[in-house]
């Protein structure tokens, strides 16, 4: 079989093709390198703008932060963190419609994202839609969080608890605290907040239990003793409250608790004479306050008459109850503009129970 030798022309063609392929490959590699370099530079610029924007946001300069965070999001649209931080800045800056648009896009992509649901909750608060806000807070609590999931969930519960406390929503607040309390056992700072909120939720015994535990763990922190005193005061345990306030160095509160202990007419161990003495003092206080506040003069005169008369015969429980009943009438007639002192306010609350 005859073997054909490659001609000079064919060898030249092969060399040319190889050269062209090599050049194309080199250009492609250069293009990839330049593209990757551009991407890295763009991402670096986005990261820089994002960091500067967050710093401004933390300094309560939301309006200035928005432009930088929007630029970061535009430069790197795949980074959901940039978009969420932009949404947070828009909420802080009062740009509700823009924030809603960004969050709708985020939640469409990641409906169970904890941070996104938290931002949506805050947005609902800005729009005064508390039921929706509360729902999103719970979605955030049970949502997906990166890193320290338990820590994030505790922080969201704390934020929700503060909102509920501010709104005076006692039952809802208590429900959150019952879950939050065992989660916060290793964090004295959180435990202290929980104890204070237990008081606001109208459960002073739970507050007292937490403060008592904190007193054992942090014996040098007088604020725990003061909190324990407030819990005892709310329960009507005035001598315990007085002792706790004295331990905390709260002299004014200790005096208040002592006054309440000396005035409380509801104690079962009181003799009829002592209950009568206390009821007369309470009637005097309500009369003086109503008179000072220009209240009903007929009620003031009626109190004057009964206080001027010395009872005939033995002192009975009924005599004390008559005076307490009249004191309640005077208290109910107090003008709304009247500001009675705290001792009278607390003792009348105890009488009404």
For the chain of 353 residues, list the mean pLDDT of each consecutive stretch of 10. 56 67 63 52 65 75 78 74 82 85 90 94 93 96 89 94 96 94 85 96 96 93 97 95 97 96 92 95 96 94 93 90 96 94 93 88
Asked if 149 and 182 touch (Cβ cutoff 8 Å), the reply is no
Q: Are residues 55 and 113 in the same domain?
A: yes
- The CA-to-CA distance between both ends of the chain, in Å, stands at 122
3-state secondary structure of 195: helix
Residue 30 DSSP symbol? H
At 196 the pLDDT is 96
Query: How many structural domains are present in the chain?
Result: 3
Which one-letter DSSP state was computed for residue 312? P
Q: Please, are residues 63 and 93 in contact by the beta-carbon 8 Å criterion?
A: yes
Same domain, 234 and 152: yes
Same domain, 254 and 309: no
- pLDDT, residue 12, reads 60
| 97 and 169 fall within a common domain | no
> Are 156 and 188 members of one domain?
yes
Query: Does residue 310 form part of some domain?
Result: yes
Shared domain for 167 and 254, answered yes or no, is yes
- The predicted structure's pLDDT at residue 212: 95
Assess if residue 20 is contained within a domain: no
CA-to-CA dists, residue 181 to 47, 187, 287, angstroms: 38, 10, 44
Domain with 116, as residue range(s), is 44-146
Tokens of 7: 């001609």
Query: Of the candidates 108, 131, 146, which is a domain's last residue?
Result: 146
Looking at residue 224, what is its pLDDT? Answer: 96
Residues 137 and 242 in one domain: no
Alpha helices in 218-341 (DSSP H): 222-234, 238-248, 251-263, 272-292, 297-308, 317-332
Decide which of 208, 243, 263 is a domain's last residue.
263
Question: Which structure tokens are listed for 187?
Answer: 């964090």
Same structural domain for residues 232 and 169?
Answer: yes
Contact of 260 with 349, CB cutoff 8 Å: no
pLDDT of amino acid 88 = 82
Q: Do 131 and 238 belong to one domain?
A: no
Structure tokens at 42: 């763009």
- Does 10 reside within a domain? no
For residue 144, the cross-strand partners are 113
Same domain, 232 and 155: yes
Residue 39 lies in a domain: no
pLDDT at 91: 85
| Domain-ending residue, one of 130, 146, 162 | 146
What local confidence, expressed as pLDDT, does residue 10 receive? 65
């Amino acid at each position: 079989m005859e073997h054909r030798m490659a001609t000079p022309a064919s060898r030249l063609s092969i060399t040319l093709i190889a050269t062209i392929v090599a050049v194309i490959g080199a250009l492609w590699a250069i293009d990839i390198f330049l593209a990757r370099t551009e991407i890295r530079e763009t991402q670096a610029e986005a990261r820089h703008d994002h960091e500067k924007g967050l710093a401004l946001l933390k300094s309560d300069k939301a309006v200035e932060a928005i432009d930088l965070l929007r630029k970061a999001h535009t430069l790197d649209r795949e980074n959901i963190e940039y978009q969420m931080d932009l949404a947070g800045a828009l909420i802080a800056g009062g740009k509700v419609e823009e924030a809603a648009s960004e969050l709708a896009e985020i939640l469409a992509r990641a409906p169970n994202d904890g941070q996104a649901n938290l931002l949506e909750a805050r947005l609902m608060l800005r729009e005064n839609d508390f039921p929706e806000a509360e729902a999103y807070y719970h979605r955030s609590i049970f949502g997906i969080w990166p890193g320290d999931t338990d820590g994030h969930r505790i922080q969201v519960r704390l934020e929700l608890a503060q909102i509920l406390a501010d709104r005076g929503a006692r039952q809802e607040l208590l429900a959150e605290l019952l879950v939050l309390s065992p989660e916060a056992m290793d964090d004295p700072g959180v435990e202290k907040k929980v104890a204070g909120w237990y008081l606001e939720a109208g459960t002073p015994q739970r507050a007292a239990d937490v403060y008592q535990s904190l007193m054992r763990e942090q014996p040098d922190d007088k604020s725990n003793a003061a909190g324990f005193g407030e819990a005892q005061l709310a329960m009507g345990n005035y001598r315990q409250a007085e002792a706790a306030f004295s331990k905390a160095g709260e002299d004014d509160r200790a005096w208040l608790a002592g006054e309440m202990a000396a005035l409380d007419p509801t104690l079962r161990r009181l003799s009829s004479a002592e209950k009568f003495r206390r009821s007369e003092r309470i009637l005097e206080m309500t009369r003086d306050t109503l008179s000072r506040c220009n209240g009903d003069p007929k009620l003031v005169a009626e109190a004057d008459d009964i206080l001027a008369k010395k009872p005939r015969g033995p002192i009975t429980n009924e005599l004390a109850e008559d005076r307490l009943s009249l004191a309640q009438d005077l208290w109910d007639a107090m003008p709304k503009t009247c500001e009675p002192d705290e001792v009278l306010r607390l003792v009348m609350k105890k009488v009404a129970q």
